[in-house]
Each structure stands twice: as C-alpha cells, then as structure tokens.
C-alpha cells in the first residue's frame, strides 16, 4: 500500500480521480500561502508525491527544495502536468505547437519493469478517432533517464528517471493519468498505465523494506 | 501595453496563452493568491479562466467586485461557485468529438452574433465544447448563448458597474493547450473586446524561452 500526497490546486472534483484503492491511499495538500511548509509536512510519511493535471507550477517552484529533499530520501515524484517552471531536477518540459496533432502517433521506447504491460497505446493516441488528445509539448529527459514513449518525431512523452536522484521520477508530457477512465472503462490505457506505475512503486518500496530488514 | 489581467493559479495552459508572442504584450498574469486592488490598477479587464482556484477567488471576491464597480470588465470561463458569483453552475459531460460524429449538432445551438465577443465568427468558431451550464443567473442578466437543450452557456450583466460576462466555454485554456486549431478566431475577438487591441491574425506561436523558468516575473 502506497501513501500518496496529491497537490490540490482547487480544481473542480479532483478528489474523484484519486479515490483510495488496495494499491494506494491519497491525501491532498492545497496550494496557497504556506504551501512549501504544508507540502513538507504532508510528505513526512508519504511514499510518493503526485502532481496531477491542472496543478500550480508557481507553487511547485516555491516548493522545489522540498521536492528535491523528498527525492534524495529515495521517494517518488509523479508529474502528469506541463511543468513550465524548473522544479523537476534535470528534466525539462517544453510546450510546442509546431507539429500537427493529426500526425501524432506514439511508439514504445524502453519499457523497463513491465510498465507498459496491458497498456493499449492506441488509446493514448486516439479518442473517438481524433489523434493528439492526450499529451502536449515534449520532455527533454535527464541523462540516463528511460524514455517509455516517444511521439511521431521521436520526442519523449513518458519518462522514468531513476538516475538523477536516489528517488524516482515518473513524468508525462502533460498527459493526464489517474486510476480513472474518461469513458467509464477501467481498462483504459490512462488507468492501466497509472496502475502499472503504482504497482512498480509498491514493489520498489517492498524491496527496499526487505533490504532494510535484512540489514 | 498590458491592459488585461489574467488571473492565474499556476496552470500551464494559462501560462502558455499569456506568454505567447501574439498575446504577451496585452495580458498580465496575476497570481490568484497575491491578488489585490493594486494588481488591477490600470487594467481594463480581468479574465478568470477555466481551471481556476475557486476557493482562492471567493476569498478575494471584494477585489473583483470593486474592479467591476469602477466600470471595468470581468470575463469568467468554465466553472464558477455561487459564493462569489450570483449564479449556479452545474457540470455536464464534455463532448470533444461532436464535430466528427455529429457535425450538424454542435454543443451550442444559439449565439448572439451581435455581441462583440462573437461578432463575425462562424458558428463553429463560437463553440468547440462547453464545461457545464448555468441553471440560474442574476435576474437582470442577459443570455448570450444556449445549448441544444436550452440551457445557458454564456450570459452577461452590467448590474455591478462594468460588464460581468460568464461562459462555460474555455477559450483561454484550450488556446493554451493548442489541440484545437481555430481558436485564434475566438481569442482574437475576445482580446479585442477586452483590450481594444486586435492581435496579429497569424496563428499563435510559442516562445521556447518561456519554459523551464526559475522565477515568475
């Protein structure tokens, strides 16, 4: 079971997208005055920080040091939103509209830890036959980060960075992910990919605890 | 000269819009948690986009209504809450694909094309999708758009001094997201109505230098 802190930017019904499951419980930390201190307190006993679609990247920049400390402690940061401020170490998100969304197709890059198992990539490409609905812009990943998905032009769309810090960063190029499906189908790729990430983080946590006990 | 304040809660699509070369000399980002009367001094209009922090807005509603009382315009998109606006917004399913599956039945059925926001637009430029509907609006308000069920999509009132315009459209967010390619038509009309300046007609571009920033100016 993972304890996940979700940044809450006052977006309508955000809580519905992150209901407790057997895999994870969620607590919400609101943005606004005092956010870095509130976030630090919320992360004290958490396994992961989740920055969902519609988050406050001014607030995240203010909390940049809190995030880095959390990563340095071996914890996980998941960002599914365009981070136009430089609060994520060594990974850069860039908005771009120079490519036609009708030409967007995704390809699997590296796929470590079975993270793409059961994920129908076409569901991330097409919505009612319309392509380019999911991600926006592209990521310039950190050196030695794994690029799980690329777009038509070879640009990083989903990144797993286990190299930059002792922790893990899971990043999408603003493609929303949650244990929730827009079409009511819990098998949809956005839900499956999200659950795969949680399962991987749970396994990593269990492995870490086993090693700690052994020592 | 920037004369339209864009209330901003750190959401990337708002930032993309306000920093785009075509709009950045007109719109001033104002962080919602910092909002005071001083931030709106010299502005003609205040834009409150979809995906705003409704609780933070409610805490600062006096600033908004003082700005209106001075004869300025406040333009509200997407959802809102009755603790800061005298109306009732309700959620509805969002239809992003009507133009593929049922192109003759757009989400908005009636638009007042004499309104300067919509004047000269084609019907498909005046509606891409909606985020909910208003089931109650101020008694003196005027309806500007309705959906196919007759529900209110856009309305306005001058009851508070200047013009308060509310719509469940989300032009600022979607222009920032850039997945709908015809929104320059709507956003350029909006900008001209609010600022008095019509942006260059070319499609919105993005300045790469605006990304990965270490401080908000």
Task: List pLDDT tens digits, range A136-152.
Answer: 999 999 999 999 999 99
Give the pLDDT confidence score for residue A172 in this predicted structure: 98
Give me the domains of chain A, ranges plus CATH numbers. 2-214 (3.40.50.880)
Task: List pLDDT tens digits, range B154-189.
Answer: 999 999 999 999 999 999 999 999 999 999 999 999
**A residues 150-189 near B, CB within 8 Å?**
174
Give the pLDDT confidence score for residue A215 in this predicted structure: 62
Residue of A nearest to B79 (CA): A12
Candidate from A81, A82, A86 with C-beta closest to B213: A86
Angle between the N-to-C axes of helices A35-43 and A64-72, in degrees from 0 to 180, rounded to the nearest 10:
20
Task: List pLDDT tens digits, range B47-58.
Answer: 999 999 999 999
- Predicted complex ipTM: 0.96
Helices (H) and strands (E) in chain A, counts: 5, 12
A22 in contact with B, Cβ within 8 Å: no
What percent of chain B clears pLDDT 90, i.e. is strictly above it? 91
**Chain A nearest C-alpha distance from B114 (Å):** 32
- Range B11-15 average pLDDT: 98
Mean pLDDT of chain A: 94
Dist. CA A31–CA A146, nearest whole Å = 30
Residue of A nearest to B54 (CA): A10
User: DSSP secondary structure string, A77-140?
Assistant: EEE-S---BS-STT-EEE---SS-GGG---EE---GGGTTTT--HHHHHEETTEES-S--SEEE
Give the pLDDT confidence score for residue A2 in this predicted structure: 97
Give the pLDDT confidence score for residue A182 in this predicted structure: 47
Residues of A in contact with B29 (CB under 8 A): none
Give the pLDDT confidence score for residue A87 in this predicted structure: 98
Nearest-5° angle of CA A52, CA B18, CA B94?
Answer: 50
Task: List pLDDT tens digits, range A132-190.
Answer: 999 999 999 999 999 999 999 999 999 999 999 999 999 999 999 998 654 566 789 99
**Chain A nearest C-alpha distance from B70 (Å):** 28
Contact A86 B214 (CB under 8 A): yes
Q: Which CATH class is domain B4-210?
A: alpha beta
């Amino acid at each position: 079971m993972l304890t996940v802190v979700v940044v809450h930017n006052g977006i309508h019904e955000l809580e519905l997208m992150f209901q407790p499951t057997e895999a994870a419980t969620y607590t919400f930390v609101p943005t606004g005055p005092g956010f870095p201190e509130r976030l630090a307190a919320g992360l004290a006993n958490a396994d992961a920080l989740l920055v969902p679609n519609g988050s406050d990247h001014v607030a995240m920049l203010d909390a940049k040091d809190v995030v880095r400390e959390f990563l340095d402690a071996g914890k996980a940061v998941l960002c599914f939103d365009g981070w136009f401020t430089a609060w994520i170490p060594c990974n850069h998100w860039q908005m771009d509209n120079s490519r036609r969304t009708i030409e967007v197709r995704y390809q699997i890059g590296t796929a470590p830890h079975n993270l793409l198992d059961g994920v129908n990539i076409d569901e991330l490409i097409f919505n009612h036959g319309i392509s380019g609905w999911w991600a926006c812009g592209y990521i310039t990943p950190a050196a030695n980060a794994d690029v799980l998905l690329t777009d038509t032009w070879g640009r990083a769309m989903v990144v797993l960075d286990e190299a930059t810090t002792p922790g893990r960063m899971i990043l999408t190029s603003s493609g929303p992910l949650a244990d929730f499906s827009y079409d009511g189908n819990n098998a949809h790729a956005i839900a499956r990919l999200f659950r795969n990430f949680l399962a991987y983080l749970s396994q990593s946590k269990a492995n870490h605890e086993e090693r700690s006990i052994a020592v | 000269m920037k004369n339209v304040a864009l209330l901003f809660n750190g959401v990337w699509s708002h930032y993309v819009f306000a920093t785009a070369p075509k709009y950045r000399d007109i719109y001033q980002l104002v962080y919602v948690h910092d909002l005071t009367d001083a931030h709106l001094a010299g502005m003609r209009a205040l834009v409150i986009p979809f995906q705003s922090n409704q609780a933070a807005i409610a805490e600062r509603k006096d600033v908004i209504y003082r700005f209106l009382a001075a004869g300025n315009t406040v333009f509200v998109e997407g959802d809102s809450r009755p603790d800061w606006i005298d109306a009732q917004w309700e959620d509805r399913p969002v239809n992003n694909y009507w133009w593929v599956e049922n192109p003759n039945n757009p989400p908005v059925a009636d638009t007042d094309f004499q309104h300067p926001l919509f004047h000269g637009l084609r019907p498909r430029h005046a509606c891409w999708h909606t985020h909910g509907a208003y089931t109650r609006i101020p008694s003196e308000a005027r309806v500007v758009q309705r959906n196919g069920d007759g529900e209110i999509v856009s309305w306005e009132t001058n009851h508070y001094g200047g013009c308060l315009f509310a719509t469940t459209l989300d032009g600022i967010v979607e222009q920032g997201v850039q997945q709908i390619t015809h929104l320059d038509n709507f956003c350029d009309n909006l900008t001209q109505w609010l600022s008095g300046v019509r942006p260059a007609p070319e499609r919105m571009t993005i300045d790469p230098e605006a990304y990965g920033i270490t401080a908000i100016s």
